[in-house]
Amino acid sequence: MIEIIFDGFSETIRDVTIAILPIFSIFVIMQIFFLKLRMPEVKKILSGFVMTYVGLIFMIQGTHVAFIPIGTHVGTIIASEDYSQYRWLIIPIGFAMGFVSAYAEPALRILSNQVDDVTRHSINKKALIFTISAGVAISITISMVRLLLDIHALFFLVPGYVLIFILSKFVEPTFAAVAFDSGGVVIGPMCVSFILSFTLGVSDSMGEAMNGFGMVGMVAMSPIISVMLLGCYYNFKHKNA
């Protein structure tokens, strides 16, 4: 059991170190030459670096050990020939997993807190998280339908981005900026590691492994649309008020 949990642990430590070290180096240089923060503040920042470093190691290791294998196995079994009559279940399962994985994404929490601070609570934090999570859930649902009907991803991506540019004409610049950032925050370890492995497992069982790709592009697109629709609602509500 221990061997399974720590399989590839040294590679995970190496990858996280490579990712964190440049940021830490920049802080050290800025602290020496420009910031010159007091020792209590430096200790607080250093403790944050340590917690982030350790947390990322265990989080990424957990995705490799648990999320990716579980997603692959679940997708492979549900879409297998033995359960072909139940393949339609990938649609509601995809919706549920899309919502939950996006709702649990740490980067989404950071974005919502920052938006709440910058806009001085004018954009509801809970509404933003729910809107983005719902958008991801709908995009995963569409991806499952696409796999079942064997439709190319471009038939959804091209109209989706056309809709984004149309909606950008009807929302405030603040919402447009938040919308485009929200498309990036959901592409994190929670969503990609589990949902992508599930999608690839489904597509592989159906004999079209390459059809599983393109899902991440749809996931990145859907929060932009959902947040812009939320912005349209805010504009409508403001005009009526």
pLDDT digits (tens, 9 = 90+) for 158-211: 999 999 999 998 888 888 899 999 988 888 777 778 888 888 888 888 877 677
In a domain? residue 155: yes
Quick one: 139 and 44 in the same domain?
no
Q: Which domain, by its residues, includes 58? A: 1-66
Quick one: 156 and 235 in the same domain?
yes
pLDDT band at 11 (very low <50, low <70, confident <90, very high): very high
Quick one: 111 and 217 in the same domain?
yes
Count up the domains in the chain and report the number.
2
pLDDT band at 1 (very low <50, low <70, confident <90, very high): low
CA dist list (Å): 99 to 167, 195, 222: 23, 11, 12
Quick one: 99 and 130 in the same domain?
yes
pLDDT digits (tens, 9 = 90+) for 41-98: 999 999 999 999 999 999 889 888 888 888 888 888 888 877 778 888 899 999 998 9
In a domain? residue 73: no
In contact, 202 and 150? CB cutoff 8 Å:
no
The residue from 12, 41, 66 where one domain ends is: 66
